[in-house]
Amino acid sequence: ADYSITVDPSATGPEIGKTMYGVFFEDINRAADGGLYAELVQNRSFEYSTDDNEAYTPLTAWTVSGTAQVVNDAGRLADRNRNYLLLGAGSSVTNAGYNTGIAVQDGKKYDFSVWARAEAGSTLTVTLQDAGGTLAAARRITVGKGGWVRYKAGFTAGRTSTTGRLTVAAGAATAVDMVSLFPRDTYRHEPNGLREDLAEKVAALHPGFVRFPGGCLVNTGSMQDYSESSGWQRKRSYQWKDTVGPVERRATNSDFWGYNQSYGLGYYEYFRFAEDIGAMPLPVVPALVTGCGQNRAVDDDALLKRHIQDTLDLIEFANGPVTSEWGEVRARMGHPKPFHLTHIEVGNEENLPEEFFARFRQFRAAIDARYPYMTVISNAGPDDSGPTFDAAWQLNRDARVDMVDEHYYNSPQWFLRNNDRYDSYDRSGPKVFLGEYASQGNTFGNGLAEAAYMTGLERNADVVRLASYAPLFANEDYVQWRPNLVWFDNHASWGSADYEVQKLFMSNVGDRVVPSTATGTPGAGGPITGAVGLSTWATSAAYDDVRVTAADGTTLLDDDFSGGASRWTHTGTGSWSVRDGRYVQTDVAAENTMVQAGDPSWHDYDLHVKATKESGE
Ligand code: AHR
């Protein structure tokens, strides 16, 4: 067949913003500790707990030789850093790092540090070894009598290894905390820095923005904090004040994805990284409605006010003068100049539109009053369509919200079929931030489907202002979600085909769209093209194998949705109808829940539907 594309270079389409394509970083799949955060010691402050993961204890990743006891008492190093380890005289403790161990490279330098306290004074002997023997010359530290002091020692690796172990041995009884080992070569040699190869992989994309810190981890769990009045709270929503200041004073928290997050990689480090790579920072704050399957609205006016104030304080932390309360905190951390924050997102995937919106309005009013230049971003829930999505969009439109965040993880076929999704979006309504999307899989075909879809985003650059693939990172030994853009272990990293697609688009952002028309497009006019598609409800991955058959028996879709680990499943019965040329499930009787791939309760569905549109039945 003859295909032709006509381009009129003199015609001008919408402008494409320089920040159009960005990245979304969430601490999922151990993307932070054991990932982008360069710390090599796992559970450095003995804070792991069964609240984080049933298998955890405060000594997870540690092996004791002799006597050692985890202590949680008033002798602690800092209020939010509850536990420390009391090492008996002549005893030692060994850390196993992440993956196969602590990875070191021949000739490279490593910085060890520890907080220690010994009533009668002590010595610490620090060694770096693997099964083959010594990896670097042992270091001896003299611990003075009295209170907590930070001690440091440097190592130079004499051999390359991916199975290293770090051992700290005490001469006399010694309390230790924040046992830390960093490569000297962090990204841009910054202190408390980032793993070089991973940071460089992100920098090489030339992202226009960095959305952080999540995702589901932002707005799940308790909205309380560590304050005296609320007591000791774990499983809290992600609250930025927990994550700034000296690392030994930061809280740790249970990560929504089933492990402990140290917050060593915190808001200051996120802002610094965005600045380093020339990207716009785009933080997400919780809005007192939990999402991601928890779906609960918190009714507590005082708490809501506190969170709104925290959000104002966050903007002050990013942009305020050094004379302001939070600007001073930023300056003390090493960055007197502002971080130039212009966009902030309130909430992530709340599935209760009315409840979310009542709270969002209050956040927005407070931000507008104090920082009228800020773009305040709302969201449309976790689906690409459906009744909740429609209700959320209506609320956003009515309130003339600046920008709405959409998320969807669908089959590659869905992405190919929906290239025109934004062609019909209201040009006078809120702009779109496609904050999370991916086709299910990391194959070349997935990358291709996403590339095709991105041409549709770009064609609609007047409506779609920002877009980021998700998730960004996965440590291959700790995977909760797939597909992912960049994969790694404790010593290597590799981009997916999808990564190359993102790099291609981000590194070549045009100034404007040049309108084009195509004739004879392959596949046009057949029964599938543009005419038949499944909405999110139907493509929800619980339908392990979905087949759609037209009345004449033609198979319109046969999809086994391979390639997804964590998926949304629909566990109710409903009926189906055709709306806007797509099959939509209505009267859904049960909630969506997250399940793991391989769940034996998955079923095959034979879905026989009658297709009527443009090209006939
Ligand atoms: O990107 C992984 C998860 O997908 C995010 O945490 C959440 O926002 C979405 O459901």
Q: What is the 3-state secondary structure (H, E, C) of 327-340?
A: HHHHHHCCCCCCCC
The yes-or-no verdict on residue 367 having pLDDT over 60 is yes
Q: What is the pLDDT of residue 455?
A: 95
Q: What is the pLDDT of residue 45?
A: 98
The yes-or-no verdict on residue 594 having pLDDT over 60 is no
More confident residue, 547 or 342: 342
CB 611 less than 6 A from any atom of ligand 1: no
Which of 88-92, 394-398, 544-548 comes out lowest in average pLDDT?
Answer: 544-548
Fold match flag (21-35+187-518 vs 62-183): no
Percent of the chain at pLDDT above 90?
Answer: 75
The Å distance, Cα 217 to ligand 1 centre, comes to 8
Which homologous superfamily is 21-35+187-518 in? Glycosidases (3.20.20.80)
Amino acid at 68: A
For ligand 1, pick from 345, 356, 436 the residue to mutate: most ligand atoms within 8 Å of CB. 436
Domain ranges of the chain: 21-35+187-518, 62-183, 526-608
The yes-or-no verdict on residue 547 having pLDDT over 80 is no
Q: What is the pLDDT of residue 293?
A: 83
Mean pLDDT of 531-552: 36
CB 255 less than 6 A from any atom of ligand 1: no
3-class SS shares of the chain: helix, strand, coil, % to 5: 20, 35, 45
N- to C-terminal Cα separation, the chain: 24
Question: What's this model's pTM, rounded to 2 decimal places?
Answer: 0.85
pLDDT, tens digit (0-9, with 9 covering 90-100), for 563-591: 332 232 333 334 444 344 334 444 333 22
Q: What is the pLDDT of residue 295?
A: 87
Report yes or no: 214 and 27 within 8 Å, Cβ to Cβ: yes
Rounded to the nearest integer, the mean pLDDT of the chain is: 86
For ligand 1, pick from 261, 349, 389 the residue to mutate: most ligand atoms within 8 Å of CB. 349
Q: What is the pLDDT of residue 567?
A: 30
CB 382 less than 6 A from any atom of ligand 1: yes
The yes-or-no verdict on residue 605 having pLDDT over 80 is no
Encoding tokens for residue 186? 């962090």
Q: What is the pLDDT of residue 420?
A: 94
Q: What is the pLDDT of residue 472?
A: 98
Q: What is the pLDDT of residue 613?
A: 31
Residue with CA at minimum distance from ligand 1 atom 4: 215
Q: Is this complex's ipTM strictly greater than 0.90?
A: yes
Task: Quote the distance between the C-alpha of residue 485 and its chain's center.
Answer: 12
Give the number of other Cβ atoms within 10 Å of residue 17's Cβ.
18
**Shortest-distance atom of ligand 1 to CA 214:** 6
CB 348 less than 6 A from any atom of ligand 1: yes
More confident residue, 601 or 553: 553
Residue with CA at minimum distance from ligand 1 atom 5: 215
pLDDT, tens digit (0-9, with 9 covering 90-100), for 244-255: 999 999 999 999
CB 214 less than 6 A from any atom of ligand 1: yes
Q: What is the pLDDT of residue 521?
A: 58
For ligand 1, pick from 292, 389, 468 the residue to mutate: most ligand atoms within 8 Å of CB. 292
CB 216 less than 6 A from any atom of ligand 1: yes
Q: What is the pLDDT of residue 172?
A: 98
Whole-number Cα distances in Å, 478 to 35, 164, 199, 238, 492: 10, 19, 19, 21, 15
For ligand 1, pick from 26, 433, 540 the residue to mutate: most ligand atoms within 8 Å of CB. 26
CATH of 62-183, one of 3.40.228.10, 2.60.120.260, 3.40.430.10, 2.40.10.350: 2.60.120.260
CB 458 less than 6 A from any atom of ligand 1: no
CB 288 less than 6 A from any atom of ligand 1: no
The Å distance, Cα 216 to ligand 1 centre, comes to 5
* pLDDT confidence tier of residue 398, bands split at 50, 70 and 90: very high
Q: Is 28 helix (H, G, I), strand (E, B) or coil?
A: coil
Q: How far apart are CA 482 and CA 473, in angstroms?
A: 10
The Å distance, Cα 282 to ligand 1 centre, comes to 16
CB 177 less than 6 A from any atom of ligand 1: no
The Å distance, Cα 31 to ligand 1 centre, comes to 13
614 is catalytic: no
Q: What is the pLDDT of residue 585?
A: 41
**Quick check: bond before 183 cis, omega within 30?**
no
Q: How far apart are CA 518 and CA 498, in angstroms?
A: 26
Check 316, 345, 349, 450 and give the catalytic one. 349
CB 30 less than 6 A from any atom of ligand 1: no
Report the DSSP beta bridge partners of residue 87: 68, 174
Residue with CA at minimum distance from ligand 1 atom 8: 215
Q: How far apart are CA 507 and CA 67, in angstroms?
A: 55
Give the number of other Cβ atoms within 10 Å of residue 75's Cβ.
12
